[in-house]
Amino acid sequence: MKIEHVALWTRDLERMRAFYVQYFGAVASERYQSRTHAFASYFLTFPDGGARMELMEKPGLAESSGADVATGYAHLAISVGDEARVRELTERLHIAGVRVAGEPRRTGDGYFESVVLDPEGNRIEITV
């Protein structure tokens, strides 16, 4: 058994697609646009495989709570291979104006990670 994909609702489908393609090397599928509903999506595939990510958009989405801890989606963890790449990507994102919510560090449970926020404030752990 494996996770095939995770899905994330977004208010700006094109901006979110561009963010994950530019900074995480994702390859986007062709845009899907429903013929019967106001719904569009992309599937993103990441360079080293694993689960895909589906970005989905439709009008009328409710605002998220904005709380750091809430039920539901907590974060997406993306492995980049080694500590140097965690540091490099975090710095690249910082220079580009992306909010860094947690500088590169070793966590209490032994992971090396940083935390950034995507354009809509979703937490991304950049890990080894």
pLDDT tens, position by position, 44-79: 999 988 999 999 998 887 766 655 655 567 889 999
83 and 51 assigned to the same domain: no
- pLDDT at 65 (0 to 100): 60
Domain end residue (candidates: 19, 36, 59): 59
The pTM assigned to this predicted structure is 0.85
Residue 65, in any domain of the structure: no
Contact, 109 vs 128, CB < 8 A? no
Indicate which CATH number applies to the domain containing 111.
3.10.180.10
Residue 69, in any domain of the structure: no
Q: How many domains does the chain have?
A: 2
Is the alpha carbon torsion for 74, 78, 82, 88 positive or negative? negative
User: Distance between alpha carbon 20 and the CA centroid of its chain, in Å?
Assistant: 6
48 and 87 assigned to the same domain: no
Residue 79, in any domain of the structure: yes
Residue numbers of the domain that contains 24: 1-59
**The pairing of beta strand 76-79 with beta strand 32-33:** unpaired
Q: What is the band of 1 on the pLDDT scale with cuts at 50, 70, 90?
A: low
Residue 101, in any domain of the structure: yes
